[in-house]
Amino acid sequence: MRVLTNMLGLEKDNNRILFWLMIPSFLILFIITIFPLIGSFLSSLFKWNLANPDQRDFIGLQNFIRLFTEGDFWYSVFLTLYQVIGTVVGQLILGMLIALLLARKFKGVKILRSLYLIPMMTTPIVAGLIWKMLFNPERGMINYILSFIGINDINWLGNSNLAMPAIIITDLWLSTPFVTVILLAGIMSIPKDYTEAAKIDGAGAFRSFWHITLPLLKPMIWLALLFRVMDAIKRFDTIYVMTGGGPGRSTETLDLYAYFQSFDYLNIGYGASIAIIMLIIMFILSMFILRSVQKSS
């Protein structure tokens, strides 16, 4: 049948049709991606403040030089690393543990798998509002539960040392199910013959996980890492809703730093340069992770 198709030229015609069908989608994606990117880069080359929108002075790379010489920028970089490492590492560990649990066969596991996906259906802004109420120092559920073990009211979002951990906890609740789904799919795809052979050879549950399950899950782990790192770096909504970058600047990550510079202080050029740096960071990390995915496949 394939030979007949090739003889008639139908396969080439199908490929040509698919190519032309893809062009409109590609053009739309190209326009909505490339033009804003070019506009941001061009804006980063100017000293442009919206307080005087008609006055734009070309300064080249001075905005980038200013970035790397300012302590506020490096402090936001540190906070971004703190938030990304805390959320991604926590999500991978919790996601793996929960995936191993949900991969087992027990009564009600299918219902549990469905219920566990509820946080994924919640938008980040709504999740931020929910957890802001839970962390309320006077009427929040978390402090109410802690009161039973003798812990007094804690001002989670008003304490500069606790605000970022509270945001990390929120993101763990919101995005760990996504990691769990990816890892669960990988665990379910592992042939049972491998684990059964390990049991016959006398391997325990931990050794079976360490030497069989974990190596076979490496591509899925790298894939989950790619999605979560990219999302964590540009996390804006939950942080803005919960703390607005405060108290002080204790939760002002790069995304919020760029937002405040652009829309509070109206420094469009400087804010655009921060966005370009974030894009470069995400591109480098994504290329590294994608290469690791290819090596582990």
Lowest mean pLDDT among 17-31, 147-161, 195-209, 220-234: 195-209
pLDDT confidence bin for 192, thresholds 50/70/90: confident
Residue whose pair of structure tokens reads 């290819």 in the numeric block? 294
pLDDT tens-digit profile of 81-107? 999 999 999 999 999 999 999 988 888
Distance of alpha carbon 134 from alpha carbon 87, whole angstroms: 19
Residue whose pair of structure tokens reads 């802690």 in the numeric block? 146
Distance of alpha carbon 114 from alpha carbon 180, whole angstroms: 12
pLDDT tens-digit profile of 213-223? 888 899 899 98
- The 8-class DSSP code of residue 46 comes to E
Options 2.30.130.30, 1.10.340.30, 1.10.3720.10, 2.40.50.140; CATH of 70-296: 1.10.3720.10
> Residue 43 pLDDT more than 80?
yes
Give the CA radius of gyration of the chain: 24
Instruction: Choose between 225 and 109: higher pLDDT.
Output: 225
Domain locations along the chain = 70-296
Q: What mean pLDDT, rounded, does the chain reach?
A: 87
Residues contacting 255, CB < 8 A, separation 6+: 80, 233, 234, 235, 236, 239, 278
Bridge partners of 58? 46
Model pTM score = 0.86
pLDDT tens-digit profile of 126-168? 999 999 999 998 888 999 998 888 888 899 999 999 999 999 9
